[in-house]
Amino acid sequence: MQFARPLLGAATASVLLLSGCSLFPSGETTPQPTNSEVAPTPTESAAEGEGTFAVPSDCLTILPKAQVDSYASENIILLAGPGGVYGGELVPDPTPEMLEGGISCYFGYDNDDPNQIQIYSVVSAAPVSATNRDSIAETLLGQGLNEGTNAAGYSTFSILGDTDANVPAMFNVISDDSWISVISVFGGEAFFEENVAIAELVRDQVYN
């Protein structure tokens, strides 16, 4: 299902450099929003009937077409990551999800000047096993994220965020075989709720 989110025009979006995991360059103030390569081997999902998890080969299928079209209607496009307008050239450092064999996809507003690209969110999916699950969870807790459990019984690590304080809304879901994360440039309840919904859309895409 497409998530109906608050409108955010390009004029109010934060102007950021694509800089790996850092969404907010040091010393830069973000304007207030108007509102709210090698294919991995698939692993069997622990959840009954959920199917088989596989990391997408590129970012073109990490979200359903309806959501991609919804983004496009607000001029939000796939900027970076495999299949993006700029591929990996503007992402010099791998994200934590990429280091675990996953994929990270940067959505936002394009600009004639690549140094003034406006990022909206980063959507990622990575494989999880008994080998790396605990270390991923420990890293997220070390970042000050709040641990919880969603309706499906999966572990979540999240923070509501605060746009005024340059703290992005973050939502991570970790199951026995997958790690899905969504990070918004902006913080606050509306953007956090969108992250939760986007994570569910990603989950539908990466299991078959």
CATH 3.40.1000 is the classification of domain 42-206:
yes
Question: Residue 59 has what pLDDT?
Answer: 96
**3-state secondary structure string, the chain?**
CCCCCCCCCHHHCCCCCCCCCCCCCCCCCCCCCCCCCCCCCCEECCCCCCCEECCCCCHHHCCCHHHHHHHHHCCCEEEECCCCCCCCCCCCCCCHHHHCCCEEEEEEECCCCHHHCEEEEEEEEEECCCCCHHHHHHHHHHCCCEEEECCCCCEEEEECCECCCCECCEEEEECCCEEEEEEECCCCHHHHHHHHHHHHHHHHHHEC
Closest by alpha carbon to 116, among 5, 6, 3, 17? 17
**Mean pLDDT value of segment 181-198:** 97
Write the single-letter amino acid at 71.
Answer: Y
Greatest Cα pair distance, the chain, in angstroms, is 48
Question: Residue 35 has what pLDDT?
Answer: 37
**Mean pLDDT value of segment 57-63:** 95
Whether residue 141 contacts residue 134, with contact meaning beta carbons closer than 8 Å, is answered with: no
**How much is the mean pLDDT over the chain?**
81
CA dihedral 26, 28, 29, 33 (to 10 degrees): -100
Residue whose tokens read 């004029």: 11
Of 7-11, 44-48, 149-153, 176-180, which gets the smallest average pLDDT?
Answer: 7-11
Question: Residue 114 has what pLDDT?
Answer: 73
Q: Exposed, middle or buried: residue 148 (CB in 10 Å: 0-12, 13-18, 19+)?
A: exposed
For residue 4, pLDDT over 60 is answered with no
Q: Whole-model pTM?
A: 0.78
What's the half-sphere exposure (Cβ side, CA atoms, 13 Å) at 8? 27
Residue whose tokens read 């919804």: 70
